[in-house]
Structure 1
Amino acid sequence: MTPFAVPQEAELVVAPDGLVVEADEAAVRLLGDCRGRSLAEVVQTPEDVLDALMAGFRRSTSPVPGRLRLRTAEGSQEMSITGRRRSARERDVVLVVRLVGDRFSELTTALQRTNTEIARRIAVEEQLRRVWGQTVAQLERSNADLLVLGETFAHDLRNPITTISGYVGLVLADPDLAEGTRSQLERVLHAAQGMEDIVEGLLHEAVQRSEAIRVDVGLEDVVGWVGSLVDESAVRVHVERPLPAVHVSLQSVRQLLLNLVSNAAKHRGRAGPAHVTVAARLLEERCEVTVADDGPGIPEELREAIFERGMSTEEEGEHGLGLAMCRRVVQEHGGVIRVEAAPGGGALFRFTLPSAGA
């Protein structure tokens, strides 16, 4: 069948629950009026593949490439697609769809766009470096400003790194790729993942060094923030309600819980997602929080050592900053953190934070 005439690009917006909430005129011509329908009804793609693809899109506010087979007015059509999180504060995903043509010319165009974006980010980084040098005295007087700058810097670096990983992964998916080229691209992908680890580690260190103003905040809101950032194909976060409010440095405690949840995803020891359960109870003026996972657990002889800076339970790859930062955040809030065996297997982290109003 001859490919039918379609607009060059069509744009959809998909809510976190999977419903299509916006569709431009081109999308309506291509797919029909899909607003209010589940994305799963519009595509002809296995649910687990679609979930993994959408989770990847939600991790970046820069376009990440992929492919979908969509049900159009002219029948099922293979489409190239890019997706991105609408903004750092919104979980809606913006999808831009177009027909698959010459795959390598498409990749060339996409990589050219990525190079332009990286060049722009490098220029922003250089500008930030000059501003940093001019205002270092002011930054030393204001740890709050330093934290904001660190978060912005990490965000600007994380997006192009995620885009590089996405496009390299797309090329690696080609079964006809030459082995020499495949080996080189795998090294690029490994380096990009290492860069992402370094950025995350530096951000964690910046957060724990900041002396942010402490506020009353509901733990359930903090857990919700963590759940909006993690990859749902790697970890699922559950809450045992109710969760009380605590009086804490918001950014520090966000990073504390994000590290513990991410740690469960990294060490889950299986292909499927890890399941993490967050619970809490009040103990006079303190709130005891537990974060339990269903992974392989931590050997008893390593349970104290894992909180040391640079310590890792793996032979390769971990920078060992995450759990050391967790202990420092808890200690700065007057508490103690320890790890034990979870009732159903896995690891259970237990720590205390000041209660709200204490």
Structure 2
Amino acid sequence: MVAGRDDAEALGHAALNTLPLSVAVLDADGVIVQTNESWETFADENDLCGDSVGANYISVCRSDSDDEIAIAVADAIEAVLAGERDQFIQEYPCHSPTERRWFTARVSRFERDGDAFAVVAHADITQRKLAELAAESRAEELEAERDTLAFLNQLVRHDIRNDVTLVAGWAELLDDHVDEEGREFLDQIVQTTDHITELTRTAADVVAAMEDDDPDLRAIALAPVLDAEVRKAEAKHDREHQPVEFRLDDVPGDVRVRADDLLSSLFSNLLNNAVLHNDSAVPTVEVDVGVGTDEVTVTVADDGPGIPEDRRESIFGRGEKGIESPGTGVGLYLVAELAGRYGGTVHVEDSDLGGAAFVVTLRRA
């Protein structure tokens, strides 16, 4: 069935009313000859009496000489009607007393029976604009956070660590000058400076991980890293006169994982955590490695008190630590951050030794 001209116009107007746009058709002089329901509703709700059929929309736009955007729209409509340009698009704010709003105005040209017409369509882009502004605000906040992190990194890596190194050096000089009664206090000083040094190292690594949004991952041999961190942990606890039994599984020399220089910090924090929360007379820590086709699993298990199931996720939160815990609450947070940074995971399960087992899965290089 072929519709007549009147039927076709009615059909076209009905179709315009379904669009989520405010649409008006202007004749060659800029007079509004047709609008859709969305245009009329917006005009009524915002008291825009000059935007109805019969009004000259170009004159309406030019009525406020201080409104640069409205003047630009009027100039564009005239250019489109004259055939000097095909279309015009302009984003603009149109805030009401109760809400912030943004729109896009689009002007297009068409001809009918030799006469030129322009279609003016306004689309509400408020949600998109608010999302863009929120993203820009967040980007500014992140930039400010990075500046703060850079300052804290400088403070932790240099100022605090340098002072602690001096204290440790002075404590070492006192070693031959204290009696048995004073040695107990000297040992406490040494242990405290070691703890502060470890804390500053962990904090600096956290800052480094947070500063770098796009880490340069590369193939790193796993065996040397694990061996070095186990040896460091043994030396650390020897200095503190705390006997610990570390057992390291044999790791094939050709096993490499995708990581960066902070990989050592991931394992050092797990090893220290296994001893720190261990109430055994002589803590035992086992490091086992499982090698798959695409993944490598490193399990750090201990014979301590274990971790209740209801805390096995929350312990990886920033600043999380147990009641009466001697830890800092950032070590396991750093472990989780680094595991995710490398495209891997970390979780806790029961250890065959009776305590907790931290299972780290990394991508094989």
For normalisation by structure 1, the TM-score amounts to 0.48
Q: Which one has more relative contact order, counting CA pairs under 8 Å at least 6 apart?
A: 1
For normalisation by structure 2, the TM-score amounts to 0.48
